[in-house]
Chains A and B, each alone.
Chain A
Amino acid sequence: AQKITQTQPGMFVQEKEAVTLDCTYDTSDQSYGLFWYKQPSSGEMIFLIYQGSYDEQNATEGRYSLNFQKARKSANLVISASQLGDSAMYFCAMRGYQKVTFGTGTKLQVIP
């Protein structure tokens, strides 16, 4: 069985500041992938970043970075220099053998 936990239902961040969205996971799979998706109010799911379980370096994509701590089973998303357009729901997800599980999401609001 695999499980994803996002403990922050909502977060506020000042524009131009950095913010960390928490994600912990549990799995018995040896090989797995961790993702973050953004869902704006328009409803579509936008892929942000991916980390493989065997990747030694933390993934980065522009202003997004994934702080992967395998021993702690955490995969936190860091957004640097927040912008108003970053206001959205953010979902952490894990892909194991034949299964992809999503967390309950964190609603991020960027304050001008």
Chain B
Amino acid sequence: NAGVMQNPRHLVRRRGQEARLRCSPMKGHSHVYWYRQLPEEGLKFMVYLQKENIIDESGMPKERFSAEFPKEGPSILRIQQVVRGDSAAYFCASSPIGQENTGELFFGEGSRLTVL
């Protein structure tokens, strides 16, 4: 039973390029959370999605950032026109149906974005 899979693990982009981060949740999980971690800081909530629905995107910057979780395939976090301040580790976490208020989040190993 594979865990949460994130790819790429490391991504280097130049300023102005696009970054696409993918997250495949654990089998049977339909809830996905994305978090951003700047160096030496904690995890900041970005967005919470269920299949084909964005439930809470209150942590997402208003511009350049978008997320989706289609019916088929992984969840995608997309950053357009990246800037140096986007350099961070981006973590995806999933949880199964019916545990909206309880139960642990299962984390992927993170995608580390470096913007040159």
Contact = CB atoms under 8 A, between A and B. Distances in A.
Interface residues on A, range: 20 to 34
Interface residues on B, range: 20 to 34
Taking chain A's interface residues, is the majority helix, strand, or loop, or is none over half, making it mixed? strand
Taking chain B's interface residues, is the majority helix, strand, or loop, or is none over half, making it mixed? strand
A3 B91 CA distance: 20
B103 A95 contact: yes
A33 B102 contact: yes
A15 to B, nearest CB: 25
A95 B89 contact: no
Contacts of A44: 107, 109-110
A25 interface: no
Contacts of A52: 102
20 contacts: A31-B102, A32-B101, A33-B102, A33-B103, A35-B105, A43-B112, A44-B109, A44-B110, A47-B107, A93-B105, A98-B48, A98-B55, A98-B56, A98-B100, A99-B45, A100-B45, A102-B43, A102-B44, A102-B45, A105-B41
